[in-house]
Amino acid sequence: MLCVAGSMLVAPAPATADPRGDAKRAARAADRAEAVLEAATEQARTAAQRLEATAAALPVAQQKVATTRGVVAAARAQANTARRKADAARAAYQKIKGRFAAAQSRVDRARDGVDEIASASYMGGDIAVINVLVGATGPQDAMDRLGMVGQVMRKQQKTVDLVVTARRDVRTEQDQAGLAQRAAEAAEQDATGKLQDARRAEDAAEAAQAAVVALAESRREALSVANSQRTAVLAKYRAAQAEEQRVVAALQDWESKNGGSYSGSYHGGMLLMPVHGWKSSEFGSRFDPYYRVWQLHAGVDIAAGGGSPIRAAADGRVIRAGWYGGYGQYTCVFHGDKLSTCYGHQSEIQVYVGQHVRRGEIIGRVGTTGASTGNHLHFETRINGEPKNPLKYLPSCLC
């Protein structure tokens, strides 16, 4: 039955990206388990808290595994794309770099031609041209010789133009090579960054998977402990039921013997809030999913600091004051009209049986005695000994 109950605890819950929200949800689940098993053994309560906490955390952890796996796939794809771009950018750079080298070679060859022209001019090239013309035998010969000189000059100009063009080409190729090189370097850096992202995503996915495994193992261990406590817990539940029956019988017996002689009477209306705090547990029957047992929580729990004053909810006579099993330090006050209020888990009782108390008078201090897991007041309202919901008698604001 515990395994069935355990399976009920791991129903999928909405995932959240807020770790603080996850922690709060797990803490609330553990608090609920603690409240349900307040009358159980300490080991059973601890096991239940672990079961509830892991049940609350497991769906979120499983969702995180799925999410991180998706991130890994996306990061790997981005890394592969970036690597292909980097390879293409390097290939483009090498191609442009080759064109730049070829253009530089053309510049070098053209510069050699210009150097030859400059050398010829320095060595008297202009005088040689004049000598060619002076040596002509006639006008026609001179024209022919002048044409030859023009051809030489045009060739020289072509060589110079070739240098200019080659220089322009090499500057263009140089600029393109620089751009290609920067693009290749940027693509390489991007590819490296994407690969690092992918590796980090893989680490996160592994950590998320490890968290799921740890939660599952913790849950398995908690179920084992809960199973081992079954006999002891059920025995305590039977004892708690017997305690409740004894309380009802004792209050009914007192009222039958003394109720008629009590001079005061309860005339209805709201009771005084017995302690300043906040409601931590409701009145009513609660189902224990670990041991498959219904049990009555005969009052409301009001959490407050240890030692906080507890005040009488109305005028009345103290009819019970002392230790009472799972209730710990327990006081009951009869107010008339069959109404009694009872106060459990006190650290200190400050009244005695038979004492008359006034509304608002301090009758004890908040504690955690008996079957309690923290400082709070267990407050009950009873009609003819039978427990009734205190919220029907207290201010709706609980203030």
Which residue positions in the chain have pLDDT lower than 50? 1-17, 124
Short-list 369, 392, 395, CA closest to 381: 392
Give the residues across from 286 on adjacent strands. 295
> Could you tell me the two tokens for 135?
């040596």
Computed from CA positions of residues 293, 299, 305, 306, in that sequence, does the dihedral angle turn out positive or negative? Answer: negative
pTM of the model: 0.57
> Could you tell me the two tokens for 351?
């009244």
Count Cβ atoms within 10 A of the Cβ of residue 256 and give its class: 0-12 exposed, 13-18 middle, 19 or more buried: exposed
Count Cβ atoms within 10 A of the Cβ of residue 89 and give its class: 0-12 exposed, 13-18 middle, 19 or more buried: buried
CA–CA separation, 94 vs 359, rounded Å? 95
Domains and CATH numbers, the chain: 1-228 (1.10.287.2610), 232-392 (2.70.70.10)
How far apart, in Å, are the Cα atoms of 212 and each of 28, 58, 154? 20, 6, 86
pLDDT at 297: 92
pLDDT at 42: 78
pLDDT at 116: 58
The SS3 of residue 41 is: coil
Helical (H) or strand (E) element with 141? helix 139-228
pLDDT at 355: 96
Beta strands in 217-292 (DSSP E): 278-281, 284-288
Give the residues across from 331 on adjacent strands. 321, 343
3-state secondary structure 165-219: HHHHHHHHHHHHHHHHHHHHHHHHHHHHHHHHHHHHHHHHHHHHHHHHHHHHHHH
CA–CA separation, 221 vs 200, rounded Å? 31
pLDDT at 284: 92
Phi, psi of 6 (to 5 degrees): -60, -40
